[in-house]
Amino acid sequence: MFLLQKVPGVEVVEVRTKEELESVAGLIIPGGESTTMALVAERWGLIPELQAFAKAGKPVWGTCAGMIFLAEAAEGQKKGGQSLLGGLDITVSRNFFGAQINSFETRLPAPDCFKSFGSTDDFRAVFIRAPAVLAVGPEVEVMAEYTLTPEEKAEHGRDKVIVAVRKGVLMATAFHPELTTDLRWHQAFVDMVRKHSEQPDKAPPPLFQNLGRMPNRPPDMPVYGKEFMRAEQM
Ligand SMILES: NC(=O)CC[C@H](N)C(=O)O
């Protein structure tokens, strides 16, 4: 969000009410804690409004807890379950990578659509008590996958999990692109907003037109120290 705020032509609004939701052409549901987010959205009567938002063809990007919120099904929910917005035909495991202490970062291959942004370099993926996608429905585009370490393979009995997906107006990432200065994920979302906008005057322009190409990007801040990096994957 803070990166988007700096982009000319992109107006960033914090959405807490129905009126604020109606005023935007696209919505980012950030990370945090999906159970709490669901409770707050329920208390404010926003669940049906949020569901209607995506149904109306307005793009939504969920990161981490936001990804869980958009999923049709979630494993590892708290007792009593939690409301999900749903809409995205995926099954997620809520804390697939473990507790907060198991947070980590790594580099992952860029999805094909990044080619048009001038760089297919790997991207830096920061996972904070992150979920993973265990299964996707037909027509869900897999944008990024993570190869498990030998220990994780032994624990989960699988080689890979999906960590970024897109279908129609919905995109979800298990990691946090807002913590790096790699704007390609933001670009992918802004492109979706432009493509699907019913309010063309509010659709933001392409980022790279305003910010220059990837080589000019500002340096990244460290998020996790070496002890948190998946050494075999860096
Ligand atoms: N960084 C995050 O958003 C963590 C999400 C957390 N796993 C949850 O259940 O909500």
Pocket-testing residue among 28, 33, 223, ligand 1, by greatest number of atoms within 8 A of Cβ: 33
pLDDT, position 1: 60
Per DSSP, which regions of the chain are E strands?
A: 27-29, 60-63, 71-75, 88-93, 104-108, 123-127, 132-136, 141-147, 160-167, 170-173
The residue with greater pLDDT, 127 or 78, is 127
Determine the atom of ligand 1 nearest the C-alpha atom of 95. 7
Please say whether the beta carbons of 96 and 132 come within 8 A: yes
pLDDT band at 127 (very low <50, low <70, confident <90, very high): very high
The residue with greater pLDDT, 135 or 5, is 135
Residue closest to 56 by CA, chosen among 24, 83, 34: 24
Q: Tell me the mean pLDDT in the region 108-118.
A: 90
- What one-letter code names the amino acid at 225? G
Q: Which residues are catalytic?
A: 64, 176, 178
Q: Is the CB of 172 under 6 A from ligand 1?
A: no
Per DSSP, which regions of 18-127 are E strands?
A: 27-29, 60-63, 71-75, 88-93, 104-108, 123-127
Q: Is the CB of 126 under 6 A from ligand 1?
A: no
* Ligand 1 centroid – CA 90 distance (Å): 16
DSSP string covering 52-83: HHHHTT--EEEETHHHHHHEEEEESPPTT---
* Ligand 1 centroid – CA 213 distance (Å): 32
Q: Is the CB of 129 under 6 A from ligand 1?
A: yes
* Ligand 1 centroid – CA 139 distance (Å): 25
Highest mean pLDDT: which range of 64-73, 96-105, 119-128, 204-213:
64-73
pLDDT, position 183: 85
Determine the atom of ligand 1 nearest the C-alpha atom of 33. 10
Rg (CA), the chain: 17
User: At 161, phi and psi to the nearest 5?
Assistant: -135, 160
Q: Please state the pTM of the whole predicted model.
A: 0.91
Q: What are the chain's domains?
A: 4-233 (3.40.50.880)
Exposure on the CB side of residue 172, measured as CA atoms within 13 A? 31
Q: Tell me the mean pLDDT in the region 119-136.
A: 94
Q: Is the CB of 38 under 6 A from ligand 1?
A: no
Q: Tell me the mean pLDDT in the region 156-163.
A: 97
pLDDT tens readout for residues 23-61: 999 999 999 999 999 999 999 899 999 999 999 999 999
Q: Is the CB of 184 under 6 A from ligand 1?
A: no
Q: Is the CB of 46 under 6 A from ligand 1?
A: no
Exposure on the CB side of residue 187, measured as CA atoms within 13 A? 22
pLDDT, position 3: 72
pLDDT(228) > 80: no
pLDDT, position 199: 74
